Amino acid sequence: MARPHHPRRRRGGRQARTHRPRRWCRPGEHGDGAAEGARRGLTPGGPARPRVGSVTREHPEASRARAWLLVAPAVIVLCWGGNQFLPLLQLYRQQSGYSQVQVDILLAVYVIGIVPGFALSGAWSDRYGRKPVLLVGVALGIVGSIILASSASSLAGLCAGRFVCGLSVAAGMVVGTSWIKELSVRGGRAEAGARRASAVLTIGFGGGAGVGGALAQFAPLPSVLPYVVQIAASLAALVALLRAVETRKAGVRMPGVRQPSLVGDLRIPKRARARFVGVVLPLAPWVFAAPALAFAVGPSLVGGAVPGFAVGFATLVTVITLSFGWLTQFVSGPILRALRGRAGLVGVLFIAAGALLLIPASLSQQVWAVLLAAPVFGIGYGLSMVSGLTAVQAMATPDDLAGLTAVYYSLTYAGFLLPAILAALTAVTPMGALLVAVAGAMAVCALIAARGIRRHGVAAA
């Protein structure tokens, strides 16, 4: 027969006191009663009540949902550094005496830097991780701004600065947007990845042009101060970027997939090749043709009609264009669903309409035509950008997301060559006729893409 258990007694016959944790105690704590629990802000049987001034830890799911916000500032400052130069084109023409062809060459040099930047940053971030490549991109952006701030009177120096800025913007666009997409997936908002990435790009491009142009028009040191402000913002973005969560560990690839070469990283996957060539390729070059026409070509057509306010007018047109682009992307979810994969077609047709609206400005310096064309270009740009990004992200796997995004962006930036081409051709052909030809080329590309959609279908992220 088992002996009954009796609690151990102390000497003197008194029962030893057993200490049991109260329900209000945190793990690892042993409270001493209700007074102790009340002192710590706890209640019996209930959750802890934080004391006034105490720091509460964020729920992991909420932290994951907002993780992309640590990457967004870096993308914004890089795009800012790339686009703040555009309103300053009129400043360089006035102060340094550069011709329209020369300032448009600066746009071409930017493209020459950005295209290899797309190729290298995309492939390297797939191999070595998103964070190190984007950190290098922000550092390059700071170097580019320093060169530009010290080279206002040197065309060669401006070309060098624009080339370096092109490399940095490529890292922001390819690595940053891929990273934002992956963090959105981890946060349970995969469908928002393309919209967030596209909106962040537009905020950077539009905000950079607005801030840079306003400083150049109204502040002292117009050829220096815009770059100094951008450098300060870049340093702040670096601090946030260091805290961002890496989504792509160095050297990690999908099981059973061998490590390809750099060219292999940029190759369009065979399963998506027909759709990419038939649908994405015909529309991609016109994405950045929209802002190029809006705030590089448009203001140059009416410079004589806004004496003393050329930089401010170019800034206004830039902000209007990119604001409408951002708003379009912000509400793009219902639009994409309603258009069922044809948003890119509609976007290119808007850009073609904007080109036609510039014809009165080319004939008689009509300022209203440039202002009216700006929101039309913005809507076309917004639809085209978010539609293309959505299609590309739907085609890609984690191993080729950044590489395929790099290929897409390289094609889109061909549109920034358009102002230099038009400026060179105006020696033999009137600008009005060139704008009609550009609109016609866009319509033909839209027809080709429509045929590709009928043949290969559409992709949705």
pLDDT at 215: 94
What pLDDT is recorded for position 407? 86
Cβ contact 188:135 at 8 Å: no
pLDDT attached to residue 7: 52
Domains and CATH numbers, the chain: 68-245+269-456 (1.20.1250.20)
pLDDT score at 33: 47
Q: What is the pLDDT along the chain (461 residues), one digit of tens a residue?
A: 555 555 555 554 445 455 554 444 444 444 444 444 444 444 444 444 545 444 445 556 667 778 899 999 999 999 999 989 888 888 888 888 888 888 888 888 998 999 889 888 888 888 889 999 999 999 999 999 999 999 988 999 999 999 999 999 999 988 998 899 899 888 888 878 878 888 898 889 888 989 999 999 999 999 999 999 999 999 999 999 999 999 987 765 545 544 555 565 667 777 778 888 889 999 999 999 999 999 889 999 998 898 889 899 999 999 899 899 989 988 888 888 888 888 999 999 999 999 999 999 999 999 999 999 999 999 999 999 989 988 888 888 877 777 788 889 889 989 989 998 999 999 899 999 999 999 999 999 999 999 999 887 665 43
Name the residue among 43, 4, 51, 2 with its Cα closest to residue 25. Answer: 43
At 179 the pLDDT is 93
The one-character DSSP state at 417 is G
Q: Cα–Cα distance between 363 and 84 in angstroms, integer?
A: 28
Measured on CA atoms in the order 70, 162, 231, 323, is the torsion positive or negative?
Answer: negative
**CB-hemisphere CA count at 13 Å for 251?**
0
Reduce the DSSP state of residue 327 to 3 states and report it: helix
Task: Please give the pLDDT value at position 25.
Answer: 47
Residue 437's pLDDT is 98
Query: What is the spatial distance between Cα 321 and Cα 343, in angstroms, rounded to a whole number?
Result: 18
Answer whether 124's CB lies under 8 Å from 133's CB: yes
User: Residue with structure tokens 């890496």?
Assistant: 246
Distances from the Cα of 188 to the Cαs of 7, 66, 184, 191, 299, in angstroms? 54, 10, 6, 9, 43
Nearest to 171 by CA among 117, 126, 221: 117
CA distance 291 to 301: 15
**DSSP calls for 56-77:** PPPPHHHHHHTGGGGTHHHHHH
Q: How far is the first Cα of the chain from the last one, in angstroms, to the nearest whole number?
A: 72
Is the Cβ–Cβ distance between 384 and 286 less than 8 Å? Answer: yes
Full-model pTM: 0.73
